Structure 1
């Protein structure tokens, strides 16, 4: 029986490896600087068109925050040739859907349609880039939408400040990653129409964007439509982007945050870590998986299953362009002392810093990453976003085909050394995330 199970496990791993095929793509530039990436996959009659702009919350200036996220909403209002409020109606009437998202580094817009609607999708994205409606009516309408989103996702969501990054102000003293991604509502309320227009003119241009077409299409026709819709959009002077250098933390910091939506405290142990482009960031992803990815992870088994000190144990990395954020967290069980729980977490970190993980644990991690790679590349939508992100933020579209190679080359010794370097106590911020009722 054991031999049969082992055989099946080997077959499963082999099947994953077989499915983790390289993602084929073609890329080129238009004369106006727009970078184009084409990923052809004719296995299903579906296409995704995605445009990602190299602008996010970190590019905003003091007193004018929230602009990047605001444009995620504003640019779905309408254009010179698309009547206000008709954007989503057009999508749904042609069997499509779409959305947008913002983080600290980039803003992306995507649409997915039956493959015979590629021309429509390209025209709509060219309209969004060239002819958006930016007037006071659109600004006032979307301001209310943004406020409601903030209330739902952050203000009224349990542990929302941790999930959506409001606690990053404790991690970064100088870098703009320390500001909320959604910005400050008071800044949006005070912003004048010309300031919204200035933000668009500064950052939204073909030479600060990448266009990805993924799915079922014919390349010659797609290129002709891309040239017809996008090549006439004028190139602008590229924005002056200056990286803010964040000083290294040299002593442990402990802070308190309060949330009226929670009943049980959460302990967060947060670290500033390297850019997602760096090899060490991938090693930290491996460490995160070993510590708390799933119920078989070290922290979950120890804190939740064995010692009953916590209801949940987790860790996650927020991969960003300049630096990343790594947070180890646990929701305390009733009656658990926070310092006692931190001590238990520290014991597991020390093990990673002083001992080599087992071959079995390392292989388990590799299998998980391979599974994730296959899952993330199982849809053209996922592939489109990964291609766009790798180009616009890492400057290497082909990173999509190097992920597993990097993961599989990580050694046990590297895991130990990176844990020593980045999970040191003097580099961390401990966040006591408490119910509002505990505020004195």
Structure 2
């Protein structure tokens, strides 16, 4: 799923990060009852303040660059994350996969750093890095020892100022991305299922429904002029946010931000694309042949409520009740009770992020691989039955509290990921999409506002069969 060529870097340093994460978690304050999974009467009380507040210092440079600083002294590390407000959703038509291709180009050299020297700079200073392309942003981050913060800010500013855009570099990275498509999608059983496939079937608007990994012909067609124009249009400071999380002094970080980023000129941004999707009025079903798959698979998707609406938060809790964890209704019904499959995966913005780091139409999606003697209709019938139970029997206070505890646990897992990157990801998303990174401290309260009545309203409108798309994988390989 949009793994960059630097993904192996993360695997290489995975044990190191795990140890740091364990150490960091051990330094946190003693957990409350709901931290440990014990629901209390306070769990669903909107008046209860979050027990853990993340420091957020947010401001904007004169050139429009958004800056978020979030100090954390639990480990001598810093995470620097640069998010550009451009993802594969709004890449140029007839240039599918272009946003992802450009992500690779950002490592091909800049004014003071030659080809691949950015990567070497991070690694030789004891750090790790990665980049990725998602629906609504392209991001780059480094996790380094704290005393290397200035070096990372200088390096990120250097490539924001301008890339070494050459035909040689473009041709090279076109080949890299094409191979990535072949390895991760074309030559894999269930390649692209369902994270790449489902948006193309469920959505109607081209921006939400095209092959964002890239058709091979489109990747070949990208020209040097395309790359230069894309950089000048979208990789400007007024279309970006820089987030720093970790062990640093805020005033010194601010001085470096001004020193290295302050002189980069603003860009002329185009009018935002129209991403709206029509209301779906009829269930859609599609079948995809897979020459490498040996067992059938099924995915389902429902269009989500508008981001940040009351129903959006209600869907977050319904996701916890229906799909997340071994205690979820669908896991119990499909795996434990009927044995139709060994697992059910999915969620909101599934496989490409989380329910917070996108900005546009989105799907709540689930998927499973099942035996050939299990009919697809049997699986869909179970899905309908479990949703109808929630609608007919109502959602008890006990079930509400359990969902909030699970959501709280999921949120704090996100915040503690990779020694600061999980926190940086949410801060960057809320800065880019809401101009309010402090919203990170309001999420728990928003979920606590959800009532049983709101859950019922959300089920009726968003989990109706006519809002659903079902995608079947027809296996073509011999088992």
TM-score range, shorter chain: over 0.9
1:435 has 2:475 as partner: yes
The alignment of Structure 1 onto Structure 2 pairs a total of residues equal to 431
Name the structure, 1 or 2, with higher relative contact order (CA <8 Å, separation 6+). 2
- Does structure 2 conserve the Cα–Cα contact (< 8 Å) formed by 1:97 and 1:113? yes
2:432 is matched with 392
1:360-412 CA-to-partner distances (Å, cap 9, x unmatched) read: 22211111111122222223211111100111123321221111111122112
Equivalent in 446, 453, 461 of residue 406 of structure 1: 446
- Does structure 1 conserve the Cα–Cα contact (< 8 Å) formed by 2:320 and 2:407? no
| TM-fit CA distance, 1:10 | 6.9
Q: Does the C-alpha gap of structure 1 residues 261 and 358 become closer, same or farther in structure 2, counting only changes over 3 Å?
A: farther
- Does structure 1 conserve the Cα–Cα contact (< 8 Å) formed by 2:50 and 2:444? no
Equivalent in 399, 409, 423 of residue 371 of structure 1: 409
1:130 has 2:161 as partner: yes
1:224 is matched with 255
- Does structure 2 conserve the Cα–Cα contact (< 8 Å) formed by 1:52 and 1:210? yes
Q: Does the C-alpha gap of structure 1 residues 432 and 14 become closer, same or farther in structure 2, counting only changes over 3 Å?
A: closer
1:202 has 2:233 as partner: yes
1:155 has 2:211 as partner: no
Q: Which runs of 5+ in 2 are unaligned?
A: 1-31, 44-48, 350-354
- Does structure 2 conserve the Cα–Cα contact (< 8 Å) formed by 1:56 and 1:104? yes
1:162 is paired with a residue whose SS is coil
Q: Does the C-alpha gap of structure 1 residues 215 and 15 become closer, same or farther in structure 2, counting only changes over 3 Å?
A: farther
1:424 is matched with 464
Q: Distance in 1 between matches of 2:35 and 2:234?
A: 49
Structure (1 or 2) with the greater helix fraction: 1
Alignment TM-score, normalising by the size of structure 2: 0.85
1:23 is matched with 54
Q: Which runs of 5+ in 1 are unaligned?
A: 1-7
- Does structure 1 conserve the Cα–Cα contact (< 8 Å) formed by 2:39 and 2:401? no
Equivalent in 145, 152, 172 of residue 141 of structure 1: 172
Q: Does the C-alpha gap of structure 1 residues 19 and 31 become closer, same or farther in structure 2, counting only changes over 3 Å?
A: closer
For the aligned residue pairs, the C-alpha RMSD in angstroms reads 2.2
Alignment TM-score, normalising by the size of structure 1: 0.92
- Does structure 2 conserve the Cα–Cα contact (< 8 Å) formed by 1:390 and 1:397? yes
2:36 is paired with a residue whose SS is helix
Q: Distance in 2 between matches of 1:162 and 1:404?
A: 32
1:358 has 2:389 as partner: no
Q: Distance in 2 between matches of 1:363 and 1:191?
A: 51
Q: Distance in 2 between matches of 1:244 and 1:298?
A: 32
1:95 is paired with a residue whose SS is coil
1:168 is paired with a residue whose SS is helix
2:348 is matched with 317
Report runs of 4+ in structure 1 exceeding 4 Å deviation. Answer: 8-11, 13-20
2:65 is matched with 34
Q: Distance in 2 between matches of 1:28 and 1:345?
A: 46
- Does structure 2 conserve the Cα–Cα contact (< 8 Å) formed by 1:354 and 1:416? no
- Does structure 1 conserve the Cα–Cα contact (< 8 Å) formed by 2:111 and 2:159? no
Q: Does the C-alpha gap of structure 1 residues 385 and 10 become closer, same or farther in structure 2, counting only changes over 3 Å?
A: closer
1:336 is matched with 374
| TM-fit CA distance, 1:151 | 2.1
Equivalent residue runs for 1:174-213 within 5 Å = 174-213=205-244
Q: Does the C-alpha gap of structure 1 residues 261 and 357 become closer, same or farther in structure 2, counting only changes over 3 Å?
A: farther
2:421 is matched with 381
Q: Distance in 1 between matches of 2:476 and 2:160?
A: 44
